[in-house]
Structure 1
Amino acid sequence: MSVDLTEKSLVQWFDETERHKCGYCKSPNGSVSIGMWADTLTVEDYQNLIDRGWRRSGKYCYKPTMDETCCPQYTIKCDALHFSLTKSQKKVIKKFNKYLQDGILKKDSECDHVEDEVHRQEHVDFKKDIAAINIGEVKAGFQEGGEISNIDIKDNPIEPENSNVKLNISAPNSEPLNNQTHKSNSCAENPMEQSRPPCKKAKVLRLERKKEKLLKKGLVLEEKTPQAPKTLEQFMEEIPDIAKGKLKIAISRMSKESDSFKVTAQLYQTYQMIIHNDLPDECEEENFCQFLIDSPLQPERVPDGPGYGTFHQQYWIDDKLIAVGVIDILPRCVSSVYFFYDPDYRGLTLGTYGALREVYFTRSLQEHLPHLNSYYMGFYIHSCQKMRYKGRFTPSYLLCPETYQWFPIEQCIKKLEESKYARFVDDIDAIDGYLPSQRDVMHMQVVYKYRLMLFKDLKKIVDETEMFKKIGQLVGKKCANTMVFFIR
């Protein structure tokens, strides 16, 4: 039986545990994970992997060893369809829209810049000889019943589609922005007045006085029917037609041949050097490509929309690139990879704005792709204060590291306050429902010494049963049945 593996996920497994410096607590070798190098991944396989706590950095996929690593990293997702804006998030959108209208960029020294870490990933130390893993396209033929066959390996990497989609965003004139300056509570500041009831907002006091005056005249204030809260779409689209800064958002599959490659790579280097204090040789074009251009995801087209795969979402104002969000569009989610921006525009709180824009984008995709309803924000680390903002994207859920079920973050935080590593399910008898069976393990597809075979046949040559049981436990039943593993 002839088998074509050109549309399969092809990965090289690294069995040893990785220990390296933690990018959060700075422990010299406290970050513990296991990984694999992915030459190609189907979007369905990667969706299933991130639903088991995996994450990619370029083509390297890694899974933190949660009960050993210094800062356990929990996969976090936001329910985009039921997303609810907070006051501070509304303020960020209004500030951005106001800048588009008047072009005035305020230098706010007290601006909360926690969002600078929005999609900051830990730099994984790749100490692997990957020259022999440049598989490209693999075609194999093996006989039914597990006969070993030679496979044909040749370099033919998938070229990303250079499909640029530019969107001109404009909307009817927005209503005047409310003054949202935070005022201190004068009652709380004066110890002599602490026995008084809490101060009421001026708007409430005015309303009460108006009611009193009408009652004296024998009239009753007509209660207004409360208006439905404005949606994320309404806030995002409150951009005046006549705006000094015209916003354009381009969605593209980035490559070295793309027209905007150079300007994007330069923006990345500027961001890394100024915001994260990287040295120039740490964020050159080669680093940029390895991290944010090279992707194992196989592009897939859909009738409506950009399709599945890795994309750069570019933010242009007056033909100047000010920010880029790198995202993976998967069957059930938009997964944030990284976000970087021009430090001169830091006052616009672009990290938070970009995350909100990606939630907005997720909701728009869902209109044509019903199963795509979540926005994945990478990892949540409760011990890292700069990560706490992710929990404010409500409703959000964390992935249980033992059963791989999702739980509301509010429920999880109670457990994380007690221990940095936590099992979120209360039922002590609950287990991982997606573990591969013994038969699944025996039928895992393997390439060994450039030959494709099932593991049950590899077992006759070299007994790696424990390693393949471990692989199956880590990637789960679905991926164990679909992925092809290269081992040495």
Structure 2
Amino acid sequence: MSALNGEKISIVHWFSDLETHQCGYCKNQTGSVSYGMWAERLNVEDYQNLIDRGWRRSGMYCYKPMMHLTCCPQYTIKCSVQDFKLSKSQKKVIKRFNKFVTNGTGQKDIGDASNVADDSTPHEPIMVREKPNVVFDYSKFVNSDIKMESIGDHSNPSCSSTVRIETSCARDDVEKTVVEKHSVGPDLCKAPCKKAKILRIERKQQKLRAKGITLEKAPPVNEAKTLEEFLNEIPATSKYKFKIQQEWMSRNHPTFKQSSQLFKKYQMAVHNEPANECGEKQFCEFLVDTPLKRVRVRGNSSAVTFGSFHQQYWLDDELIAVAVLDILPRCVSSVYFFYDPDYRFLTLGTYGSLREVQFVQSLSKSVPALKFYYMGFYIHSCPKMRYKGKLNSSFLLCPETYQWFPIEKCTPKLEKEKYSRLNDDVDALDENLCTSRDIDSIKVWVSYSFTHFGNYKRKYGEEEVFENIGRLVGRKNASSLLFVSTKG
């Protein structure tokens, strides 16, 4: 008999209908097509696996665009921060910001709200759906182990053992990703063995010193400044005090009002949204509510907390920008970035993305597997979206094989067709594809009890629905998510 740990399971409500709505990019009234699910709660490893299959969250709602049907195909994009190199234009953005903080240069533009939109702030639509009207007592899951109950006269023990094994593996994957790594290389506390060439040089230097001759050291080769060094070139005596604070945002947070008001100001000025569509309710549903369960893990040098956070950019006592981020086992995913349009001359959208790249670089020192910066979706047919491709070492996710490819190799394909299989290997397959056995092992909550789809379908059917679920979420998530049924 299988059991669920109420504190560790991810719980979702699936929407079986194919959703169509207005596209936020080309404004086609019914052009945007996607499937979605409302997440009661998600473990960070499960969400990491979802975004690696083209999913994205908006508040508690998770959705996956149907790439071959939607009017503006949305390709998941990520940047490898270890290989990232600053461009000249990006260096200029950092220098302009540092110069302004240091001596106030550039503040002549403050207060002019005209022409505030730039190529770093495309209007990404807010995708939110209400929670399904299903009776579900979440409290039953807290600190409890829930046993499986079979539906009908037949149970499927093979499904039970399969789920138990795969769920255990999923948890092990998280631990391997985040726990402190022990080096299998040389002991860094001991002096390394010297090569024969170095020993010969040292003997020669000793002989010269014995004769009173000293060798002058060659001047060190100038190394290129790192992104962190560029960002930190702000003197302690600067005109303004700039700081970034990381917060767990909630309706009761001391800065909630300031954050929601800044969001409203940004949406109205930059994206021309009416006031009644960007108030506190929308702010909470989109950027405060999150299904991600926070977890603190050990790293190589310091502890790291996975989950959803707001990084607040403060200039003295003024909140000028907010980055909403999900910190996951293998990446930091950018949910949204908004700023005070009075400071648009600082190109804060670009500056914020560079700050986030450096943030991932710092986290990767503690958690080596965490080495990617996810920028959400890239839409090649939307000119304002192409700024995301300006971060070098960026990759796009193939919508058919779910493998990553350098953006430079993808753009020629996207110039020809909006939708394209990015993998040139015609024989390559989705390696995370579900088998019929995997689908039968999907966990379902129905009528106040837990079972597997292999049992569930004997009474309720829905084979097509769950086959579609398996295809869209993939084998890893099919074995780890609990789907709340509307039946019973």
TM, length-normalised to structure 1: 0.80
2:121 is aligned with 1:116 = yes
Residues 110, 449 of structure 1: alpha-carbon distance in 2 compared, 3 angstrom cutoff: closer
* Match in the other structure for 2:324: 326
* Match in the other structure for 1:254: 249
Deviation at 1:445, TM superposition (A): 0.2
Deviation at 1:9, TM superposition (A): 0.7
Deviations 1:110-156 (A, max 9, x none): 99821122xx4322263x453437754442766568468xxxxxxxx
Residues 147, 17 of structure 1: alpha-carbon distance in 2 compared, 3 angstrom cutoff: closer
* Match in the other structure for 1:102: 103
Deviations 1:147-206 (A, max 9, x none): 68xxxxxxxxxxxxxxxxxxxxxxxxxxxxxxxxxxxxxxxxxxxxxxxxxxxxxxxxxx
Say whether the 8 Å CA contact 1:308–1:330 is kept in structure 2.
Answer: yes
Q: How many residues align?
A: 412
SS state of the match for residue 479, structure 2?
helix
CA distance in 1, matches of 2:55, 2:413: 22
CA distance in 2, matches of 1:414, 1:138: 52
Deviation at 1:231, TM superposition (A): 1.2
CA distance in 2, matches of 1:447, 1:460: 15
Say whether the 8 Å CA contact 2:38–2:131 is kept in structure 1.
Answer: no
- Structure 1 window deviating more from structure 2 (228-237 vs 352-361): it is 228-237
Residues 89, 133 of structure 1: alpha-carbon distance in 2 compared, 3 angstrom cutoff: farther
SS state of the match for residue 132, structure 1?
coil
Give runs of aligned pairs for residues 34-73 of structure 1, distance below 5 A: 34-73=35-74
Residues 121, 61 of structure 1: alpha-carbon distance in 2 compared, 3 angstrom cutoff: same
TM, length-normalised to structure 2: 0.80
Q: Can you give the 5+ residue segments of structure 1 that lack an aligned partner in the other structure? A: 149-223
Task: Write the letter of the residue equivalent to 2:257.
Answer: K
Task: Write the letter of the residue equivalent to 2:84.
Answer: F
Residues 29, 259 of structure 1: alpha-carbon distance in 2 compared, 3 angstrom cutoff: same
Deviation at 1:30, TM superposition (A): 0.5
Deviations 1:335-366 (A, max 9, x none): 00001111111110001101100001010011
Deviation at 1:465, TM superposition (A): 1.7
* Match in the other structure for 2:380: 382
Say whether the 8 Å CA contact 1:436–1:472 is kept in structure 2.
Answer: yes
Deviations 1:285-323 (A, max 9, x none): 111000000000001012434500000000111121111
Residues 133, 344 of structure 1: alpha-carbon distance in 2 compared, 3 angstrom cutoff: farther
Q: Can you give the 5+ residue segments of structure 2 that lack an aligned partner in the other structure? A: 153-218
Residues 135, 69 of structure 1: alpha-carbon distance in 2 compared, 3 angstrom cutoff: farther
CA distance in 2, matches of 1:335, 1:455: 32
Say whether the 8 Å CA contact 1:39–1:134 is kept in structure 2.
Answer: no
Task: Write the letter of the residue equivalent to 2:39.
Answer: A
* Match in the other structure for 1:449: 447
Deviations 1:206-258 (A, max 9, x none): xxxxxxxxxxxxxxxxxx98633221011011111210111111011111111
2:82 is aligned with 1:84 = no
CA distance in 2, matches of 1:293, 1:423: 35
SS state of the match for residue 366, structure 2?
coil
SS state of the match for residue 250, structure 1?
strand
Say whether the 8 Å CA contact 1:12–1:133 is kept in structure 2.
Answer: no
Indicate the RMSD between aligned Cα atoms, in angstroms. Answer: 2.2
CA distance in 2, matches of 1:313, 1:125: 22
Say whether the 8 Å CA contact 2:149–2:450 is kept in structure 1.
Answer: no
* Match in the other structure for 2:198: none
Task: Write the letter of the residue equivalent to 2:132.
Answer: I
Deviation at 1:90, TM superposition (A): 0.4
Deviations 1:385-444 (A, max 9, x none): 011111110100000000000000000001111111000111112110101222111111
Task: Write the letter of the residue equivalent to 2:408.
Answer: E
Deviation at 1:56, TM superposition (A): 0.5
Say whether the 8 Å CA contact 2:148–2:451 is kept in structure 1.
Answer: no
Say whether the 8 Å CA contact 2:149–2:449 is kept in structure 1.
Answer: no
Task: Write the letter of the residue equivalent to 1:371.
Answer: A
Say whether the 8 Å CA contact 1:253–1:311 is kept in structure 2.
Answer: yes
Say whether the 8 Å CA contact 2:72–2:379 is kept in structure 1.
Answer: yes
Say whether the 8 Å CA contact 2:332–2:372 is kept in structure 1.
Answer: yes
* Match in the other structure for 1:338: 336
SS state of the match for residue 270, structure 1?
helix
Give runs of aligned pairs for residues 19-34 of structure 1, distance below 5 A: 19-34=20-35
Task: Write the letter of the residue equivalent to 1:113.
Answer: D
Give runs of aligned pairs for residues 190-201 of structure 1, distance below 5 A: none
Say whether the 8 Å CA contact 1:142–1:453 is kept in structure 2.
Answer: no
Q: 2:238 aligns with which of 234, 243, 246?
A: 243
* Match in the other structure for 2:206: none
Give runs of aligned pairs for residues 204-353 of structure 1, distance below 5 A: 227-303=222-298, 304-353=302-351
Say whether the 8 Å CA contact 1:48–1:478 is kept in structure 2.
Answer: yes
Give runs of aligned pairs for residues 412-431 of structure 1, distance below 5 A: 412-431=410-429
Say whether the 8 Å CA contact 2:401–2:430 is kept in structure 1.
Answer: yes
CA distance in 1, matches of 2:148, 2:328: 32
* Match in the other structure for 2:132: 130
Say whether the 8 Å CA contact 1:273–1:280 is kept in structure 2.
Answer: yes
